[in-house]
């Protein structure tokens, strides 16, 4: 697992505004260290340049697919991060760990002592 999985990632909104305005020093610094966020910003910039090159034409299917792909990739990334950052606060997980600890010590006592 790479260290970037434990970072605090800027919100999607601030990444997008950074991609468009390029003025946030804090985010730029994060992008320098974080591959997934900098990829996201690159993707946004690519999409924006694609959109500005289209002008009056309709948005092509390839671009729609690209947007869909990014959103999907992003959602997966955040679900994983969210799990990493919150699992120890989840009472169900704590409860299960407690139950297993009790069962384990019980069986250990029965079989080995």
- Residue 9 touching Zn ion (CB under 5 A): yes
Half-sphere exposure of 92 (CA within 13 A, CB side): 3
To Zn ion, the closest distance from the beta carbon of 7 in angstroms equals: 5
Alpha-carbon distance 43 to 52, whole Å? 14
Q: Residues in contact with Zn ion, total (CB under 5 A)?
A: 3
Q: Which residue lies nearer to Zn ion by CB, 26 or 99?
A: 26
Question: For residues 29-88, which are near Zn ion according to CB under 5 A?
Answer: 34, 37
Q: Which residue lies nearer to Zn ion by CB, 9 or 18?
A: 9
The distance from CA 25 to its chain's CA centroid, rounded to whole angstroms, is 21
Q: Which residue lies nearer to Zn ion by CB, 33 or 90?
A: 33
- Residue 15 touching Zn ion (CB under 5 A): no
Cα four-point dihedral sign 65, 16, 38, 36: negative
Instruction: Name the 3-class secondary structure at 107.
Output: helix
Binding site for Zn ion (CB under 5 A): 9, 34, 37
């Amino acid at each position: 697992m790479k260290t970037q999985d434990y970072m605090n990632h800027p919100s999607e909104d601030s990444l997008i505004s950074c991609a468009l305005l390029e003025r946030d020093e804090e985010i730029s610094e994060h992008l320098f260290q974080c591959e997934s966020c900098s990829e996201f910003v690159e993707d946004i910039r690519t999409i924006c340049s694609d959109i500005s090159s289209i002008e009056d034409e309709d948005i092509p299917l390839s671009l729609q697919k690209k947007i869909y792909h990014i959103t999907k990739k992003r959602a997966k990334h955040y679900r994983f991060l969210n799990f990493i950052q919150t699992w120890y606060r989840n009472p169900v997980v704590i409860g299960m760990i407690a139950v297993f600890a009790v069962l384990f010590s019980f069986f250990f006592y029965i079989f080995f002592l």
